């Protein structure tokens, strides 16, 4: 991590959802504030700012992390993925987002970006989770209005859909190579 000894802002460059972006950050500025205030990426929400509620979850170099427990300087030179980059476009939702939509897994939507970013990492590492594993990851997120039944249903359904798409892709690749 870069060492900054003064309170003067310094330039921080990250690859945000595949795009190189630069802004200014002071030594103690949180990554969430840097994204929202400096880069205008307001999709990452801020709740407790203590690492508890999960609203600020994003991916750094592919791994889900709390944006409120990360300094902007710690992200310098790294890949940061946020909810804004989860789907190819606003008309082409990801499998996770579609499952949330189908199962009414959100109401106010405040917790939603964090949950989606958490599970985009989790399901990439564990494509065939059981309910206990999904509950465990979901336990790192506080949702105050939807209720967890819809969330569980959406997450299990998204995992199944992602497995189906991935096996179809593998089958198509195998057929091409034969």
Q: What residues line the site for ligand FES (CB under 6 A)?
A: 46-49, 51-56, 66, 68, 106-112, 143-146
Answer for the pair 27, 2: CB distance below 8 angstroms, yes or no.
Answer: no
Residue number, 127 or 139, with CB nearest to ligand FES: 139
Which CB atom, from 148 or from 163, has the smaller least distance to ligand FES?
148
Q: Least distance in Å: CB of 76 to ligand FES? A: 20
Closer to ligand FES at the Cβ: 25 or 30?
Answer: 30
**Which C-beta is closer to ligand FES: that of 25 or that of 143?**
143
Shortest distance, position 1 Cβ to ligand FES, whole Å: 19
**149-170 burial, b if ≥16 CB within 10 A, otherwise e?**
ebbbbbbbbbbeebeeeeeeee
Cα–Cα distance between 14 and 72 in angstroms, integer?
9
The residues, any chain, with a CB within 8 Å of residue 54's CB and separated by 6 or more, are: 47, 66, 111, 114, 115, 118, 140, 141, 142
């Amino acid at each position: 991590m870069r060492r900054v000894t003064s309170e003067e802002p310094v330039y921080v460059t990250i690859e945000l959802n595949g795009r190189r972006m630069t802004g200014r950050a002071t030594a103690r500025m949180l990554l969430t504030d840097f994204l929202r205030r400096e880069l205008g990426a307001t999709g990452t929400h801020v709740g407790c700012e203590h690492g508890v509620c999960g609203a600020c979850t994003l991916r750094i170099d592919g791994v889900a992390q709390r944006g409120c427990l990360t300094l902007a300087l710690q992200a310098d030179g790294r890949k940061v993925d946020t909810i804004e980059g989860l789907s190819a476009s606003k008309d082409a939702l990801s499998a996770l987002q579609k499952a949330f939509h189908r199962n009414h897994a959100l109401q106010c939507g405040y917790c939603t970006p964090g949950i989606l970013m958490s599970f985009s990492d989790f399901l990439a590492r564990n494509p065939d989770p059981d309910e206990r594993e999904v509950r465990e990851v979901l336990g790192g997120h506080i949702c105050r209005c939807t209720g967890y039944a819809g969330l569980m249903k959406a997450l299990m359904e998204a995992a199944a859909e992602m497995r189906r798409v991935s096996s179809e892709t593998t089958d198509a690749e195998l057929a091409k190579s034969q």
